[in-house]
Structure formats: C-alpha cells, structure tokens
Amino acid sequence: MLDATTRSGGTATASPRATVGPPVPAAATGLSARAARIALSPWSRLSLLVLLLASAGVAVLLFQPQRLLTHGWPAAQLGGAAAALAYAVAYGLCTVAFVPRPLLNLAAGALFGSVLGLGSALAGTVLGAGLAFCLGRVLGQEALRPLLRGKWLKAADGQLSRHGFRSMLAARLFPGVPFAAANYCAAVSRMGLPPFLLATALGSVPNTAAYVVAGARASTPTSPAFLIALACIALPGLAGAVVAWRKRGRLRAR
C-alpha cells in the first residue's frame, strides 16, 4: 500500500513489517517449567543438602584438612591477625564438614596463644554455625518440617521456635549436645538467624576457652592454667553424663 507521499506525487515507499520469530513449542515450555519445579522442590533441595554434607565428610576423611591446621597452617605462611583470620575461615568450613571442634580449639591455642586463639576459634565457631544454619534453612527446612510429628520432636521444635535464644544458649553451654545437631535442629525450626548466632557466640565461650588455653599451655602440663583448663573440660562433661544418665533412668521408670 502506498502512503500519503505517493498519493501527492512523491516517491512510493513500502511500510516496514515487524519480523516475528518462530513460535516456541508449548511442550518445550511446559517441560522446562516442570524440570524447574522438580529441581526446586523441597525433597530435591534436601537431597542436595545430604549430598553436600556427605561429600564434605568424605573429603575430610580422604584429605584430612585438619592436619594442615594442627601442623602450623596458616601461622607458618601468614602472621598475626591475618593468620588468625585465615584460621577462623578454615575453622568454620571444617566444622561444616564435621571436623571435631575440640581438635580445632586445641590447635588455635597452640598456634596463636590464649587471647588471639580464643578470638579466632570463636569467630570460626560462629561462622561454621551460621553456614550450617543457612544450608539447613534453605535446603532442608521445607522438607523436614512436615516430619515433626512425634511428641518429643514437636516439643523440641516448639522450644526452639518460641524461646530460640535461651534454648540455643543452653544447648551451647551443655557439653552433651553435638554442635552440628544443634545447628540443623535450629535451622529446621522457626528460630531466627540473629538470636541463633548470638546464643552460639556467648554459649560457646566457656568450652572453647578451656580447650584453647589447654592447647596454648600444652607444653607445660603441670602449670596451673593447664590444670584449670583441663578441669573445665572434664567437669562439665562429667556433669552432663550424670544428668543424661539420671534422665534416662526417669524415662525408663515412666
């Protein structure tokens, strides 16, 4: 069709037409949406969490990164605060991979002394707990919450959800509660991240300090500081064993 310029005697120009690409098949769009739903489903995310944790555990068993920490890294390569910061990051990653915290705390004291070692170990503790909490919350909470049907599971979930800071502080102070178990239980509950991190930081001080001081004074096992640290490690563990044994007896009586 000619435009107004042509009708008035001008040069004829053709109106441009919009180009339309080939239509996307509805089957392909539906398949992509279905694959995305499956990949982001609660059980797929939980499977990814289990795979990540299992891979981390296998990597620790094969490569034993804790040996690097206990044999001088990173203090041999770095110095002062930089080495302590690098150690804290490595500490946090190792706790997510289920490396025992007492070993890491002892190494922190041996490498950096009581004061700097305690700061590095506490920073690593909070970092590792935060990483585990975020992994459990994002990848595992939605799939695991519907499984909280038992009496004891519901009671523990309610306690963490309503009184998160107080409950987590008690869990960190009590020596019988595994570090990783407390992290993922809190992640599955409705507890917030800030009170979880604060309770972890405060509640981990006594036990962490005892191990760090013991590591710092390991070369003088007869010193008062080492003996006091050893007592602070042994007595809470003994008290926790007695409390657990008494509660077990009460449960059997019921």
**pLDDT tens, N- to C-terminus, the chain (254 residues):** 445 444 444 454 445 555 555 555 555 566 666 666 666 677 888 888 889 888 888 888 887 776 776 666 666 667 778 889 999 999 999 999 888 999 999 999 998 999 999 999 999 999 999 999 999 999 888 888 877 777 777 888 888 888 889 999 999 988 778 899 899 999 999 899 999 999 999 999 999 999 999 999 988 989 999 999 999 888 887 777 776 677 665 545 55
C-alpha 71/C-alpha 58 separation (Å) is 21
pLDDT at 70 (0 to 100):
61
CA 232 vs. chain centroid, Å, equals 26
pLDDT at 154 (0 to 100):
80
CA 34 vs. chain centroid, Å, equals 30
pLDDT at 32 (0 to 100):
67
Which H helix or E strand runs over 84?
helix 80-96
pLDDT at 35 (0 to 100):
65
Q: What is the 3-state secondary structure (H, E, C) of 41-69?
A: CHHHHHHHHHHHHHHHHHHHHHHCCHHHH
Which H helix or E strand runs over 1?
none
Minimal CA–CA distance to 118: which of 37, 188, 54, 208? Answer: 208
